[in-house]
Structure 1
Amino acid sequence: MSPDTPEQLLIIDDDEMFCHVMQRALSRRGFEVLTASDADEALSLARRSTPQLATLDLKLEHSSGLKLLPELLALAPECRVVVLTGYSSIATAVEAIKLGAINYLCKPADADEILAAFGRDGGDPDIDIADNPPSINRITWEHIQKVLQENDGNISATARALGMHRRTLQRKLQKRPVRR
Structure 2
Amino acid sequence: MTDHSAEIQALPDRSLLLLDDDAPLRTRLGRALEQRGFETVLAAGVAEALAAVRTAPPAFAVLDMRLEDGTGLKVVEALRDARPDARIIMLTGYGNIATAVQAVKAGAVDYLSKPADADDVVRALLATGEAPPPPPENPMSADRVRWEHIQRVYELCNHNVSETARRLNMHRRTLQRILAKRAPR
Correspondent of 1:168 among 163, 169, 172 = 163
Q: CA deviation at 1:5?
A: 6.5
Query: Which residue in the other structure is 2:32 paired with?
Result: 25
Query: Which residue in the other structure is 1:59 paired with?
Result: 66
How far apart, in 2, do the equivalents of 1:65 and 1:6 lie? 22
Query: Which residue in the other structure is 1:48 paired with?
Result: 55
CA gap of 1:54–1:4, structure 2 versus 1, over 3 A, is closer
Correspondent of 1:74 among 81, 85, 103 = 81
Structure 1, unmatched stretches of 5+, are: 128-133, 146-154, 157-164
Q: CA deviation at 1:123?
A: 4.5
CA gap of 1:102–1:168, structure 2 versus 1, over 3 A, is same
Question: Runs ≥4 in structure 1, deviation > 4 angstroms?
Answer: 3-6, 123-127
TM-score, normalised via structure 1 length:
0.67
Query: Which residue in the other structure is 2:119 paired with?
Result: 112
AA aligned to 1:109 is A
Q: CA deviation at 1:101?
A: 0.2
Query: Which residue in the other structure is 1:16 paired with?
Result: 23
Structure 2, unmatched stretches of 5+, are: 1-9, 136-141, 169-178
SS of residue matched to 1:114: helix
AA aligned to 1:51 is P
Alignment length (residue pairs): 149
How far apart, in 2, do the equivalents of 1:172 and 1:53 lie? 38
CA contact (8 A) 1:6 1:30 kept: no
Matches within 5 A, 1:123-162: 123-124=131-132
TM-score, normalised via structure 2 length:
0.65
Query: Which residue in the other structure is 2:175 paired with?
Result: none
Would you say 1:35 and 2:35 are equivalent positions? no
SS of residue matched to 1:33: strand
How far apart, in 2, do the equivalents of 1:24 and 1:125 lie? 22
Identity in percent: 38
How far apart, in 1, do the equivalents of 2:124 and 2:76 lie? 17
CA contact (8 A) 2:88 2:107 kept: yes
Tell me the alpha carbon deviations over residues 8-61 of structure 1, each in whole angstroms, 9 at most, x when there is no partner: 010011011111111211111111100111111101111111100000101111
